[in-house]
Amino acid sequence: MSNYETRKVKTGKFNSYYCEGGKGNERTLIFLHGSGPGANSESNWSRVLNELSNRFHVIAIDMVGFGNTELPENTNLTFWQWTTARVEQILEVMDYNNIEKASLIGNSMGGVVSLNALMYDSSRFEKVVLMGSGGGGGKNGPSPEIVRMTQFFRDPTIQAFRNLITWFMYDESVVEEQLEEIVQTRYENIMKPETRELYPSLFATMPHELTIPPSALRRIKQPVLLIHGYEDQFVPRESSLAVLEHLPNAELVLLKQCGHWVQIEKYERFIQLIDQFFDETKSR
């Protein structure tokens, strides 16, 4: 039994699907998933939501282009335009729930969206956690794992998908009992006809539009916690190091023997870091 409920509300010209728990708790945390095949709010965050809803108001959104959120009429968008649509979607969900300010927790692409949200309207956001986040660019271009991910539909078999999912983690045995469920659930999501048609186009311009300009980063005043798996092969740790260099109020935690899914591979440590970061009794 989960400690959260799922909802669907009107955001602009489409309906957005999200998970919500802990309503009534003072601080709102908005969780943003990544762009891996089959990604949505629950596949990324369900265990975290169940735990943190005991002390925070938690919302995890299926960002437009993913999960159960409806697609807009026009899907012929650049990566940058998709990102702006997701930022506006977050603000619409906040407005619907009468949330004046919230903190963001973004994984991978969700981290890029979080940084863009701060650039779009910094007055609406308090603290930010970036986990395995892009935005820092890369000297050698996309990793081989990212290339395989974006080209998944060239060979969309269940075995190819299973291999891809294991590559997200340093050691998949940490989720051995749940691995097949993760694979099956996300494979069903990615094989939906509308997703199969849309997914490759989501990344068409990504390498050119993913990096956040240093001039923008140094203007972000909010406290930022960067968390990165040391062995992350999808978004190498150098991305967080590059972002850290320009953020004026940030710290970075690197976790050894951990890949791209910190919240799954190092669940207990992730929860501990979140609690510490949002503990108002400690000076930061």
Residue 282 placed within a domain = no
**CATH code: domain of residue 198:** 3.40.50.1820
Residue 284 placed within a domain = no
User: If pLDDT is split at 50, 70 and 90, which confidence band does 207 have?
Assistant: low
Residue 283 placed within a domain = no
Segments forming the whole domain that contains residue 67 = 4-277
pTM: 0.94
Residue 86 placed within a domain = yes
Highest mean pLDDT among 40-44, 59-63, 156-160, 171-175 belongs to 59-63
**Which tens digits make up the pLDDT trace of 138-156?**
666 678 888 888 888 888 9
- How many domains does the structure of the chain reveal? 1
Report the chain's C-alpha Rg in angstroms.
17
Cβ distance 242 to 214 under 8 Å? no
Sheet holding 14-21, edge to edge: 4-11, 14-21, 57-61, 28-32, 102-107, 125-131, 224-229, 250-255
**Which tens digits make up the pLDDT trace of 241-279?**
999 999 999 999 999 999 999 999 999 999 999 999 999
CA angle, 230 then 109 then 157, to 5°: 85
Residue 12 placed within a domain = yes
Residue 38 placed within a domain = yes
